[in-house]
Structure 1
Amino acid sequence: RALQDDLESLVDAPSSFSAKSGERGTIKPKANFDADQDAAALKKAIEGLGTNEKIVIEILTTRSSAQRQLICKAYEKATSRTLVKDLKGDTSGDFEELLVALITPPAEYDCHEVMRAMKGAGTKDKVLIEIFASRSNQQIKALSDVYFKETKKQLTAALESEVSGDYSKALLLLALGKRDESTTVDVNKAREDAKALYNAGEKKWGTDEAKFIEILCKKSIPHLRQTLIEYKNISGKTLQQSIEGEMSGDLENLLVAVVKCVKSVPGYFAELLHESMKGGGTDESTLNRIMVSRSEIDLLDIRAEFKKLYEHSLISLTQIFLNN
């Protein structure tokens, strides 16, 4: 785990929270793009006997999300049907899920994943944790706007009825999308926060969860990176180790995810991808969600982190798992 303890280099490392879309993604907009041409090719691929999956994959995975939206419009104009409906009618299972994810705008896709996680008995907290710990304020606000547009309800109100306790408090703070965005770091303030966290956890009998929640869910990413360094200096442990020792259940999982994302969002996703592929079967929906939602943000960095952590390339490992 030496990698994770290399805290000092963190402070100046780029952060996916502030990455401009497209800089570190694997998918770039296609040059000489023609939406009508793509729509016609998709129409032909779908309408023939049995879908020509190769053409569908070729088109949808080599266009940017914004270009796919233009293809959807052109397709509807040409056929009077929506592409999403036709793909759902012609494909099934994980493949269908992946194609639908690709043609859904990012904020809408995040929103639908959150809605799916809240649907039915038992909330899929893993999905809520992954999304709310890793998204920027802008992404969370965009997701909330879609939620309101589609349900006429506030997302936070819906979440409140699904989750409870300290975990609920932390999740709702993140779901407000109001994390401090200042980029300057005051080392003394970071040291104060590190001390406050140490006093709220390691140093006392019982844990003051509220303190952890307030600092980790509200303070800026650069400030928290410095706080992680100060914390290690004060307590001799990493903050993640302390949280794992002091807390349990969903609150622990959420705060650990936040700490991992503060350090490195790509590192966090590399771990989740590895988890989704190890053991008995592949967790395709996690695999789909991460690949699609990060493809234009930081998938190049996720690939690099994956290779550093697991000594395999993400591409080779994905091929092995998906062909099994």
Structure 2
Amino acid sequence: QDLLDDLKSELSGHFESFVLALFEHPRVYDAKECNSAISVGYFVISVILGCAYIVLYVFKRELERDIQADTSGDFKRLLTSLVTGSREEKPHADVELAKKEANELYKAGEKKLGTDEAVFNRILCLRSNAQLCETFAQYKAIAGKDIEKSIESEMSGYLEVGCLAIVKAVRNAPAYFAERLYKSMAGAGTKDNALIRTIISRSEVDMAAIKQEFNRMYGKTLASFVKGDTSGDYKKIILGIIGE
């Protein structure tokens, strides 16, 4: 604790935030970020996905309470489903179940006036990654389009962002987080909270794969973006953590 106090007195800005975050266990850090991100709906989904759907063992009760207090409607139900930790972990897909649930998703969205969001919530938040990937393939065979296109046309706001994030993370988690890093640095200014959150959360998980996907998707290295959008010790520590 004395070391942390000394660091707080000696450091400042985004460099301080990054250094202090390194002293947290990655999963504890994720949980704390979830707890602080509820009021920022576009970020909280990324944080929850960064926890790889584990039960958020720190602040879980507070997180569930804040979701109830600070969100509403279908987005609240989506977040509640994600943090209950009830996602299946089956390594193999059941093709017949995938066909059945792909048809349910089609009937809940494209095939009816309005959208039955509860069906999307149940399937996206319950099924394993392997099962969902098969369901997405079956959905395309039925609907003639990727499920992302249907979500974009059938939903809006935080719910759309949340469902799209789940689909993207299920299909290719490193690509999803590469996109999050790109968006944190692209355009005017840097969204430092999102940048720090993603780097810290994924540094010991799949950073090498994220770097590969970043290069493939954007034609430039992650390091080159970091060098262009950060400076000083803040830049140096990020480059060190991502292995550059």
Provide TM-score, normalisation by structure 2: 0.91
- The one-letter amino acid of 1:136's match is A
State whether structure 2 residue 228 is matched by structure 1 residue 316.
Answer: no
Give me the whole-angstrom Cα distance separating, in 1, the residues matched to 2:157 and 2:80: 17
Which shifted more, 234-243 or 108-117?
108-117
State whether structure 2 residue 10 is matched by structure 1 residue 90.
Answer: yes
Partner of 2:21: 101
- The one-letter amino acid of 2:4's match is V
| Cα displacement string for residues 260-290 of structure 1 (whole angstroms, at most 9, x for unaligned residues) | 0110111101111111111110111111111
Deviation at 1:105, TM superposition (A): 1.1
Q: Check whether the contact 1:166–1:209 (CA below 8 A) recurs between aligned residues.
A: yes
Give me the whole-angstrom Cα distance separating, in 2, the residues matched to 1:206 and 1:228: 20
- The one-letter amino acid of 1:229's match is A
Partner of 1:289: 197
Q: Report the structure number with the largest CA radius of gyration.
A: 1
Partner of 2:49: 133
Partner of 2:107: 199
Partner of 1:249: 157
SS in 2 for 1:181: coil
| Cα displacement string for residues 289-308 of structure 1 (whole angstroms, at most 9, x for unaligned residues) | 11111111000000000011
Larger RCO of the pair (alpha carbons < 8 Å, separation 6+): 1
Deviation at 1:321, TM superposition (A): 1.3
Q: Check whether the contact 1:243–1:255 (CA below 8 A) recurs between aligned residues.
A: yes
**Partner residue of 1:146 out of 58, 64, 70:** 58
Q: Check whether the contact 1:108–1:146 (CA below 8 A) recurs between aligned residues.
A: yes
Cα RMSD for the two superposed structures: 1.4
Partner of 1:185: 93
4+ aligned runs moved over 3 Å, structure 1: none
Give me the whole-angstrom Cα distance separating, in 2, the residues matched to 1:113 and 1:98: 13
Deviation at 1:136, TM superposition (A): 2.2
Partner of 1:32: none
SS in 1 for 2:176: helix
Give me the whole-angstrom Cα distance separating, in 2, the residues matched to 1:117 and 1:168: 13
Give me the whole-angstrom Cα distance separating, in 2, the residues matched to 1:128 and 1:137: 13
- The one-letter amino acid of 2:182's match is H
Deviation at 1:154, TM superposition (A): 4.3
Give me the whole-angstrom Cα distance separating, in 2, the residues matched to 1:274 and 1:86: 33
Q: Check whether the contact 2:102–2:135 (CA below 8 A) recurs between aligned residues.
A: yes
Q: Check whether the contact 2:32–2:58 (CA below 8 A) recurs between aligned residues.
A: no
* Runs of 5+ unmatched residues, structure 2: 233-244
Partner of 2:210: 302
% identical equivalent positions:
40
- The one-letter amino acid of 1:266's match is P
Deviation at 1:219, TM superposition (A): 0.8
Q: Check whether the contact 1:113–1:127 (CA below 8 A) recurs between aligned residues.
A: no
| Cα displacement string for residues 38-88 of structure 1 (whole angstroms, at most 9, x for unaligned residues) | xxxxxxxxxxxxxxxxxxxxxxxxxxxxxxxxxxxxxx5xxxx2x222111
Provide TM-score, normalisation by structure 1: 0.69
SS in 1 for 2:177: helix
Q: Number of residues paired by the alignment?
A: 232
- The one-letter amino acid of 2:59's match is Y
- The one-letter amino acid of 2:7's match is L
State whether structure 2 residue 40 is matched by structure 1 residue 124.
Answer: yes
Q: Check whether the contact 2:98–2:135 (CA below 8 A) recurs between aligned residues.
A: yes
- Within 5 Å, give how 1:2-81 maps onto structure 2: 81=2
Q: Check whether the contact 1:194–1:231 (CA below 8 A) recurs between aligned residues.
A: yes
Give me the whole-angstrom Cα distance separating, in 2, the residues matched to 1:137 and 1:245: 26
Deviation at 1:135, TM superposition (A): 2.5
Q: Check whether the contact 1:101–1:292 (CA below 8 A) recurs between aligned residues.
A: yes
- The one-letter amino acid of 1:211's match is V
